[in-house]
């Protein structure tokens, strides 16, 4: 875990006012010349590219194992088999995984970590993240995400559009909190869990690893086993 850092959405005015710490200034300046290879040229990839751009990345390329050519204005320049060559060639380039599926995202994350590649944290400038929040590498906060005091968000997570994670929560690695989800205080979300769009979780709930919470579900009890859960009262689909 690293302590929360600001996104690179600072302005020249901030620099001239001397409003940035040395560390922030360094990140800002580095970001301005940096290249990022985004793995996963799908819809989420487009969203991540926009955030990377807003975080100051100048050169943005995609890698994808099944799609070639272009993603909008961005070039898809290779596959995950090219990671080693790119890493050797461009030591300063960053990699970021923009794959919605938690298991596949975790697999690619492990591949990068086996090569000792450190991933950045991407934060949309409109996200509101308390300064006490701890964030793991490779995690993205999409527009209007709100994360409150004392929360820890693990590595390789997606905190999607307008999702809120309130105070003192623990979000483990490789979790996806979908758009419009609201998670109350003191909630624990296990590894690789996917909280579906528009769901709510009341305070002090534990949700196990590898859980899928269906769209629009309200969770009022602990979920103690992996599986797909929907409805009110909550039922498990895959048993
Ligand atoms: C930026 C982005 O796009 S991020 C992506 C956001 N997307 C999401 O959050 C999608 C979340 N996915 C869902 O909610 C899915 O419906 C899942 C994963 C829960 C279930 O998908 P499947 O396994 O394909 O289930 P399937 O569609 O076959 O439905 C099985 C049963 O569950 C019911 N069901 C499925 N989802 C839900 C739900 N969210 N709430 C209530 N009931 C549901 C179905 O009506 C069906 O009921 P029946 O057996 O009585 O007819």
DSSP structure string for the chain: -EE----S---HHHHHTT-S-HHHHHHHHHHHH-EEEEE--SHHHHHHHHHHHHTT-SEEEEE-SS--EEETTEEEEE-GGGHHHHHHH-TT-EEEE--SSHHHHHHHHHHHHHTTPPPP-EE-TT-EE-TT-EE-TT-EE-TT-EE-TT-EE-TT-EE-TT-EE-TT-EE-TT-EE-TT-EE-TT-EE-TT-EE-TT-EE-TT-EE-TTEEEPTT-EE-S-B-S-EEEETTTTEES--
pLDDT band at 80 (very low <50, low <70, confident <90, very high): very high
Tokens linked to 97: 């995984």
Ligand 1 neighbourhood includes 163 CB (under 6 angstroms):
no
Average pLDDT, the chain: 92
* Res 142 pLDDT > 70: yes
pLDDT band (50, 70, 90) for residue 48: very high
Question: In ligand 1, which atom is closest to the CA atom of 231?
Answer: 41
Contact 120, 137 (CB under 8 A): yes
Q: Just give the CATH number of 122-233.
A: 2.160.10.10
pLDDT at 71: 98
Q: In whole angstroms, how large is the CA radius of gyration of the chain? A: 18
Q: If you take atom 16 of ligand 1, which residue's CA is the nearest one?
A: 214
* Ligand 1 within 6 A of CB of 216: yes
86, 172, 130, 196: CA torsion to nearest 10: 90
What average pLDDT does the segment 38-48 reach?
A: 98
Range list for CATH 2.160.10.10 in the chain: 122-233
Rounded to 5 degrees, what are φ and ψ at 170? -125, 120
Annotated catalytic residue: which of 167, 176, 182, 222?
167
| Dist. CA 117 → ligand 1 center (Å) | 36
Strands 134-135 and 211-213: unpaired
Q: What is the pLDDT of residue 239?
A: 78
222 among known catalytic residues: no
pLDDT of residue 111: 98
pLDDT of residue 7: 42
Which pLDDT value is given to residue 5? 43
CATH class of the domain at 26-114: alpha beta
Asked whether residue 211 carries a pLDDT value surpassing 60, the answer given is yes
Q: Is 86 in the pocket of ligand 1 (CB under 6 A)?
A: no
Q: What is the pLDDT of residue 6?
A: 42
Q: In the chain, list all ranges with CATH 3.40.50.20.
A: 26-114
The answer, yes or no, to whether any atom of ligand 1 lies below 6 A from the CB of 154, is no
- Is it the case that residue 32 has pLDDT exceeding 90? no
21-25, 80-84, 117-121, 219-223 — which is least confidently predicted?
Answer: 21-25
């Amino acid at each position: 875990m690293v302590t929360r850092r600001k996104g690179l959405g600072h302005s020249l005015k901030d620099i001239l006012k001397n409003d940035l710490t040395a560390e922030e200034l360094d990140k800002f300046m580095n970001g301005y010349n940096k290249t990022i290879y985004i793995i996963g040229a799908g819809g989420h990839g487009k969203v991540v590219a926009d955030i990377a751009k807003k975080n100051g990345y100048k050169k943005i390329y995609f890698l994808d194992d099944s799609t070639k050519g272009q993603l909008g204005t961005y070039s898809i320049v290779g596959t995950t088999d090219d990671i080693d060559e790119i890493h050797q060639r461009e030591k300063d380039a960053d990699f970021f995984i923009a794959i919605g599926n938690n298991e596949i995202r975790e697999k690619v994350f492990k591949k990068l970590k086996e090569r000792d590649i450190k991933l950045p944290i991407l934060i949309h400038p409109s996200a509101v993240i308390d300064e006490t929040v701890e964030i793991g590498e490779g995690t993205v906060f999409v527009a209007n995400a709100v994360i409150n005091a004392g929360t820890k968000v693990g590595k390789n997570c997606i905190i999607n559009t307008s999702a809120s994670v309130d105070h003192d929560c623990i979000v483990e690695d490789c979790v996806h909190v979908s758009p419009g989800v609201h998670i109350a205080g003191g909630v624990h979300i296990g590894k690789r869990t996917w909280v579906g769009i528009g769901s709510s979780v009341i305070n002090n709930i534990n949700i196990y690893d590898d859980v899928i919470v269906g769209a629009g579900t309200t969770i009022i009890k602990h979920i103690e086993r992996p599986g797909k859960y929907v409805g009110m009262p909550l039922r498990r689909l895959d048993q």
